C-alpha cells in the first residue's frame, strides 16, 4: 500500500491496493521531453495521474505520450480530484472533460459522415473496445466466445472505416461526444 502527501491533504481515507503517482506538469518549466521521459519511467512502476493547467497543453500531451493514464485540471474541485485519484488507483483511466476537448483539437480534422447504425451487440462490443479491453476480456464480460467478439470487432472496423482497434476506440469516443453534445457533428475516422 502506498500513500502520498497529496492523498492526505485531499481527505482521502481509503487504503488503496495499488500504487499510483500524481505529477504536476507545471513543475517542468515547459521541458516536455523531460516530462515525457519521467512519466515513461514512473509508469513502469505505477499508474500516473497528471495535474495540468490550461496553459500547459503541450506538457499534458507529453505526459500522455509518456504513458500517463489520466489527467485532471488544476482548477478541478476536490470532489473531481478525488474521483480521478480513485479511478487511477483502481486501475482505470481518468480524463478531465475540459482538457480532453483541448486534446481532441490536436487530432486531425475528420470529414463529416452519417452516424452508423449499429446493433445492440455491436454497441456493447464498441463500448468495451473503447475501454481498451481484449477480445478475451470482452468475451468473458459478454458471455460470448473470443471468436464471436473477433467477428463483431471486424464488422465494427469495416462499418466505421478505421484500420485498427485504436482507431475504433477513437471513433467510439467521438461518437459518444457527438451523442452527448448536439453541437458536435459525427465524424468518420
pLDDT digits (tens, 9 = 90+) for 55-90: 677 888 888 888 888 888 888 888 988 888 888 888
Please report which helix (H) or strand (E) contains residue 125, including its range.
helix 120-130
Average pLDDT over residues 118-123: 90
Return the domain boundaries, the chain.
Answer: 5-104, 120-180
Per the DSSP assignment, residues forming a β-bridge with 51 are: 24, 72
SS3 21: strand
What is residue 186's predicted lDDT score, i.e. its pLDDT? 41
Average of per-residue pLDDT across 106-128? 75
What is the topology classification, in CATH, of domain 120-180?
Arc Repressor Mutant, subunit A (1.10.10)
> How is domain 5-104 classified at the CATH fold level?
Rossmann fold (3.40.50)
Question: How deeply is 67 buried, as exposed, middle or buried, from its count of CB atoms within 10 A (0-12, 13-18, 19+)?
Answer: middle
Could you tell me what percent of the chain has a pLDDT over 90? 13
Report, as an integer, the average pLDDT of 146-166.
88
* pLDDT higher than 60, residue 164: yes
Mean pLDDT estimate for the chain? 77
Asked if pLDDT for residue 183 goes beyond 60, the answer is no
Phi, psi angle pair for 76, to nearest 5°: -65, 150
Give the confidence band of 3 by pLDDT, cuts at 50, 70, 90.
very low
The string of pLDDT tens digits covering residues 29-48 is: 778 888 889 898 988 888 89
Nearest Cα residue to 174 out of 119, 120, 109: 109
In tens, the pLDDT along 15-24 reads 555 678 888 8
Instruction: Provide the phi-psi class of 119: left if phi over 0, else alpha when psi is between -120 and 50, else beta.
Output: beta
Amino acid at each position: 500500500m502506498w500513500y502520498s502527501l497529496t492523498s492526505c491533504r485531499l481527505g482521502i481515507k481509503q487504503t488503496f491496493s495499488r500504487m499510483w503517482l500524481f505529477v504536476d506538469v507545471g513543475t517542468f518549466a515547459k521541458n516536455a521531453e523531460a516530462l515525457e521521459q519521467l512519466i515513461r519511467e514512473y509508469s513502469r512502476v505505477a499508474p500516473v495521474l497528471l495535474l495540468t493547467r490550461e496553459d500547459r497543453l503541450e506538457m499534458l500531451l507529453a505526459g500522455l505520450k509518456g504513458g500517463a493514464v489520466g489527467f485532471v485540471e488544476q482548477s478541478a474541485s476536490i470532489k473531481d480530484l478525488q474521483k480521478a485519484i480513485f479511478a487511477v488507483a483502481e486501475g482505470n483511466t481518468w480524463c478531465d472533460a475540459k482538457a480532453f476537448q483541448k486534446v481532441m483539437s490536436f487530432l486531425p480534422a475528420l470529414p463529416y459522415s452519417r452516424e452508423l447504425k449499429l446493433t445492440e451487440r455491436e454497441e456493447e462490443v464498441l463500448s468495451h473496445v473503447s475501454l481498451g479491453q481484449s477480445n478475451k476480456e470482452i468475451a468473458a464480460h459478454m458471455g460470448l466466445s473470443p471468436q464471436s467478439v473477433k467477428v463483431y470487432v471486424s464488422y465494427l472496423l469495416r462499418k466505421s472505416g478505421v484500420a485498427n482497434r485504436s482507431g475504433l476506440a477513437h471513433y467510439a469516443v467521438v461518437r459518444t461526444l457527438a451523442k452527448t453534445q448536439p453541437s458536435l457533428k459525427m465524424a468518420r475516422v
